[in-house]
Structure 1
Amino acid sequence: MPSITLANLGWSTPDGRPVLSDIDLRFQRERVGVVGRNGVGKSTLLYLLTGERQPASGSVAVDGSVAMLRQTVQVDPDETIADLFDARDSLALLRKAEAGDASAEDIGDADWTLEARIDEALAKVGLSLSADTPLPHLSGGQRTRAALAAAIFAAPDFLLLDEPTNNLDRDGRAAVRDLLRGWRGGAIVVSHDRELLEEMDAIVELSGLGAARYGGGWSAYRSRKEIERAAVEAELADAEKRLDAARREAQVATERQDRRDAGGRRKAARGDMPKIIVGGQKRRAEETRAAASRLAGRQRDAAQAQLLAARTKIEVVDPLSAGLPPTGLAASRTVLALDDVTAGYIEGQPVIRDLSLTIAGPERVAITGPNGSGKSTLLALVAGTIGPWSGTARTQVPFAMFDQRVSLVDPSLSIADNFLALSPGTTNNQCRAALARFRFRADAADRTVGSLSGGQMLRAGLACVLGAPQPPQLLILDEPGNHLDIESLAAIEMGLAAYDGALLVVSHDPAFLDAIGITREIALR
């Protein structure tokens, strides 16, 4: 049976920062979700399984074939869906044969079922597109679906999926869940999509303590984690009580011995005892004190060891605090206005047609709709990165745009330098304090943005903008939860709920939209 075995696996960044340590895992023909905080090594684990990265220690043994879907699909202008399937030349040969221009040898080499099989793979992820469709013409969600179809096309023994539902609309997410329900091979799925994780046969949690495996899906994992957390906290509290008791007992024993020694010295001072008896009592007192001290030391050491053992079972994580300064946005202020806007990228093929939209004051507006309906295009119009073909688009307050690549931060600069560049006049102390609230403390603030994981990069971008002394009055967010771990997402939800400016958000996560208090929804078709 195909399997993947990890033994004492370790990996570090090029600068020597350990990411994975002593990982022992075995994967078979099952669906396993991989969860953990941003930067803990989830994507790195998949790269180690494909052989694209080599372990610093331990080993990876893969018995079977693997295919991987990565977090992002970068495309060249001339790429088509066929390129995802590595089928451009084979399909060109079919076209040549169909046109009657192929040689007898070419016809013998042609795979006449290829196009039908590609269409079938695309249909499994809800796409009815030709293999010749240019990738730049697809939305991010459509490209993700096409890449997933290409991953399953070769029928690998193991599917490695890195955030497969990022960028997908609700139908796309449902298609991924349906695909995995019917998948008969192994699947290792890095995700923070709780609905998708519910479909798993097991959950592997990566943390600073290593890797832990839990049977069942997301709910079973969370339930087991709560039981474990309660048990460890009880063990820690008991160990602390034992250490306090050992210290008190040692203190009481010392004070008792001190009183005995003082009584002996007073009796000896009266001179009514022979010196030999006084000397014997002094020697016995010293021996008793030494024995009591050794016993107390052993008790304290045992209690201290128990406490340390309990603490090693608890991962210490700095909380993320995304409380925001006020923006000063008045309720009557017009934030943005689109009047009869039509826009797109290819002449004669508008993505948005005759759209009007006004946001006033601290409104919270969600843009929803299926992949390809123009949601990201609308945000680009508001941000001014593209202009309308007709109509007018005006954004009338300071704003910050968080696209899916977090392009507002410079990947070549450190997080701290990005913060200072985006908030001129801010002192270094203000910068460090703001970044610390987003869990970038001390040396972490000096990390280069380009070295961060997708979730860490978004958190860095949010820290640089939301941590500023004067936050923008409008936040434009394109799928902000795509790369955040679940704990960070919850903290960002609380921070955005407390934000007093206007929000324009694209998201396919109903729970996220509900948590941040969306007041109006605009559905694109």
Structure 2
Amino acid sequence: MSRSIPAITVSRLGWSTPDGRAVLSNLDLRFAPERTGIVGRNGVGKSTLLRLLTGDLAPSTGSVAIEGRIAMLRQTVQVAPDETIADLFGARAALALLRRAESGAATADELAEADWTLDARIAESLTKLGLPFPPDTPLARLSGGERTRAALAGAIFAVPDFLLLDEPTNNLDAAGRAAVRETLAGWRGGAVVVSHDRDLLEEMDAIVELTGLGATRTGGGWSAWQARRQIEQAAAEQQLATAEKRADAVQRQAQAATERQDRRDSGGRRKAARGDMPRIVAGGMKRRAEESRGAAGRLAERRQDAATAQLAEARSRIEIVDPLAVSLPSAGLPASRTVLDLDHVTAGHVAGRPVIRDLSLTITGPERVAIVGPNGAGKSTLLALVAGTLAPWQGRARTLVPFALFDQRVALLDPARSVADNFLRLNPGTTNNQCRAALARFRFRAEAADRIAGTLSDGQMLRAGLACTLGAPRPPQLLILDEPTNHLDLDALTAVETGLAAYDGALLVVSHDRTFLNAIGIARTVALDGAG
């Protein structure tokens, strides 16, 4: 009996939060053995869709049918104290059996069950993702990026028909991102990938966009989707404009017809009142006038109904979205002003183990500098030196202008306070009206500005942090950004890029997103090699 072709079919799928808020509604999708990117605004239900596919969530309506086996990689790889890389491969027991066999402690039955190729196959999977670690390595010893890559290696090792990946390149350095892209490029099964990483999305065979209107599929990668999206958006806007003009014209024509009929009726009544026509003729004219008015009214009503239906159809094709607008006022930074001066700085977190050694760096005027390097190379340590939260062991670190630090954990926000309270705390002297206006530009309007920060999703938390950092009436003359694009949806990312490109202060940015760095006009790159 031949095996059926693997597929994931979603039929009329819906899911709502416990308080009844609809997240996904009436969704119809089919995933074939190809690489499909899932894109959409934060909160539209991308991760929820993956959890419905894995069975972690039960649909409120509709169904999910899966032909084949799936493996899931979540955004955060949770770590228990005793977990090792072997646990990500589901191989702890099998490897323990091998160790007993190698030491001569295994029984005859255990020897018969031993998989003598297991060590080599796990090592090969890890090496492909740039991880030269033995399988008994504790996960707690790995960085977040290394754990993500190890989890991906474990998922692929199971040879599923479909890989489900939720933001697989978040927190990965350039080498890690490249390893994920190369792995997916060589993957011959199906993959459903939720991501905002444009380089990764470019490698997809198809893009599915989730919006409040449902799901649309486009063949090809990110560039093809972006081009088609712009064409379809322009066509939908043109159809809406045409429908609005037609509805207005039909309304004007109906009004004009009514006014003409009123004038004719008025003339007939005046003539009848003069008494110069027989009563029977006057009665006939009145009857014909009423019939004419009724026919004209019915025709006008049918035209108005048709125009209204066309207008409603045109409006249904356009999603009403509250836009994110990042517009920064002048920072007032002179071109000759020294912004930052690091002079032969050595620093670290553990005595005798410097992360940064003998580093000098000067930023003058509105320079834009990127800090790059592998995970663990000292990028966040360098930013801590610049922000003054870490003192150098040797050398001197001076930041000579007002600055703001936006870190990847959005630690600047107090999770117990509302978004508005955080803004007022971080921007002293700001009025409530200024606060509300600034937050509204970042999609925190009315009640949304009063939400407690700790209740926000990752994407919303990032957006709130950006609002508090970039929304001040007078921005700082130096912006220090540590991985500012993680968890931002593509529309928000474009808005942030546009705002930062127009910012006239200095930028010091840590990011592995090459497209982002190019978009904001980085002029100089400092590469840390991890060797101090």
Distance in 1 (alpha carbons) for counterparts of 2:416 and 2:462: 15
Name the CA distance, whole Å, in 2 between partners of 1:317 and 1:299: 30
CA contact (8 A) 2:198 2:515 kept: no
Say if 2:293 is the partner of 1:315.
Answer: no
Q: Deviations over 1:177-209 (max 9, x none)?
A: 221122122100111222322222221110010
Aligned 8 A contact 2:16 2:22 in 1? yes
Amino acid aligned to 1:511: T
Distance 1:175 1:238 in 2: 49
Shift of 1:423: 2.6
Worse overlay, 268-277 or 376-385: 376-385
Moved more, 280-289 or 148-157: 280-289
Does residue 1:306 correspond to 2:310, yes or no? yes
Match of 2:55 in 1: 51
Q: TM-score, normalised by structure 1?
A: 0.92
Quote how far apart the aligned CAs of 1:317 are.
Answer: 1.5
The equivalent residue for 2:364 is 360
- Decide whether the 8 Å contact of 1:97 with 1:107 is kept in 2: yes
Residue 387 of structure 1 and its aligned partner are, at CA, apart by: 4.1
* Alpha-carbon distance, 1:160 to partner: 0.7
Match for 1:393 among 381, 397, 405? 397
Q: 2:384 aligns with which of 380, 398, 403?
A: 380
The aligned length equals: 525
Superposed counterparts of 1:394-409, under 5 Å: 394-409=398-413
Letter in 2 for 1:4: I
Quick one: distance in 2 between partners of 1:391 and 1:151?
46
Mapping of residues 35-74 of structure 1, within 5 Å: 35-74=39-78
- 1:468-507 correspondence runs (5 A): 468-507=472-511
1:150-176 Cα shifts (integer Å, max 9, x gaps):
221211221111122223333333322
1:3-152 equivalences under 5 Å are 3-75=7-79, 79-88=83-92, 90-91=94-95, 94-95=98-99, 98=102, 111-152=115-156
1:510 to partner: Cα distance: 2.5
TM-score in terms of structure 2 length: 0.90
| More displaced stretch, 486-495 vs 362-371 | 362-371
Shift in CA distance, 94/385, structure 1 to aligned 2, threshold 3 Å: farther
**Could you tell me which residue of structure 2 aligns to residue 180 of structure 1?**
184
Evaluate the alpha carbon distance shift between residue 504 and residue 101 of structure 1 in structure 2; reply closer, same or farther with a 3 A threshold.
farther
Query: 401, 418, 421: which one pairs with 1:417?
Result: 421
Q: Is the 8 A contact 2:406 2:469 kept in 1?
A: no
Distance 1:108 1:230 in 2: 66
Letter in 2 for 1:280: G
Shift of 1:77: 6.3
SS at match of 1:267: helix
1:281 maps to what in 2?
A: 285
Query: What CA deviation, in whole Å up to 9, does each residue of 1:385-430 have, x standing for no partner?
Result: 4444444434344433222222222334432232233234433322
The residue type equivalent to 1:245 in the other structure is: A
Taking only aligned residues, the RMSD between alpha carbons, in angstroms, comes to 2.6
Change (3 A) 1:164 1:380: same
**Alpha-carbon deviation of 1:518?**
1.6
Q: In the aligned structure 1, how far is the partner of 2:380 from the partner of 2:9?
A: 41
Cα distance 1:411–1:61, how it changes in 2: closer, same or farther (>3 A)? Answer: farther
- Mapped contact 1:28–1:186 kept (Cα < 8 A): yes
Which of 495, 520, 523 is residue 524 of structure 2 equivalent to?
520
Partner residue, 1:244: 248
Q: Which runs of 5+ in 2 are unaligned?
A: none
User: Structure 1 residues 425 and 328, CA, compared in 2 at 3 Å: closer, same or farther?
Assistant: same
Instruction: Give the C-alpha shift of residue 268 in structure 1.
Output: 1.4
Equivalent residue in structure 2 for 1:337, among 332, 338, 341: 341
- Contact 1:479–1:508, Cα closer than 8 Å, also in 2: yes
Q: Secondary structure at the match of 1:470?
A: coil
SS at 2:346's partner residue?
A: strand
Indicate whether 1:441 and 2:435 are aligned.
Answer: no
Q: Say yes or no: does 1:297 pair with 2:301.
A: yes
- Cα distance in 2 for residues equivalent to 1:456 and 1:464: 12
Q: Secondary structure at the match of 1:129?
A: coil
- Provide the secondary structure at the position in 2 that maps to 1:4: strand
Q: Distance between the aligned counterparts of 1:83 and 1:395, measured in 2?
A: 45
| 1:197 correspondence with 2:208 | no
1:187 alignment partner, SS class: strand
One-letter amino acid matched to 1:395: T
Give me the whole-angstrom Cα distance separating, in 1, the residues matched to 2:446 and 2:67: 43
Q: Which residue of 2 aligns with 1:155?
A: 159
Which of 224, 227, 231 is matched with 2:228 structurally? 224
Secondary structure class of the residue paired with 2:518: helix
